Amino acid sequence: MRATPLLPGPRIEIILAGSGGQGMILAGLILAEAAGLYDGRQVAMVQNYGPEARGGTSKAEVILSDQTIDYPLCTAVDVLLALTQEAADVYHGDLKPGGWLIVDQELVPHPPLASAISLPFTRTARRKLKREMVTNVVALGFLSGYTGLVTKKGMERALLSRIPLASREMNKKALRLGSRLATAYQNAVPGARPETDSNEI
């Protein structure tokens, strides 16, 4: 499956969802700041934590627009990024017809939609960086590279403003790995999995 970038429009809605502790709220903040502070777009964001601090489902709703946003909640989702099976199952019904479901290949073994875009975010973070904690950043790199919703420069600047100095280099590598997954996926023949075993970072 190939895709053209989601072109700037009056309203683009994104949900980033997973379990508490996966950093999806942080990912939503980074995406919103990349678009709003560094790419000059109108942005709204709402976050929702599950009942448990860790383990419960959490999500960030991010709306991007080139016009004033008159309603801050998602009503017809263009992109759902889900890092758990539960998140995919619960929120895929919010996608509008033709919306994109992007899931973690390892953590969402049974995508609820046949058209789901399934990528090895967790496996890439574990194998390449030895840190599953940056899975959310790998996924953000893919999201920005694949959808074209924010610039790579804007995403990197927003990311670096949100993380401690000691982990900046690792997070920059995670973002680049995600971007390379996007390039590999876009260049793959329909149905082919992207190549993720290169030693290059």
Tell me if the pTM is above 0.85. Answer: yes
Question: 144-182 pLDDT, tens per residue?
Answer: 999 889 999 999 999 999 999 999 999 999 999 999 999
* Predicted confidence band of residue 1 (pLDDT cuts 50, 70, 90): very low
> Helices in the chain by DSSP H: which ranges?
24-33, 85-91, 121-129, 135-147, 152-162, 168-187
Is 5 a member of any domain?
Answer: no
Is residue 200, in this structure, part of any structural domain at all?
A: no
Q: Residue 165 sits in a domain of what CATH number? A: 3.40.920.10
Q: Which domain holds residue 109?
A: 12-187
Q: How many domains does the chain have?
A: 1
> For the residues 20-38, what does the mean pLDDT come to?
93
Q: Chain-wide mean pLDDT for the chain?
A: 87
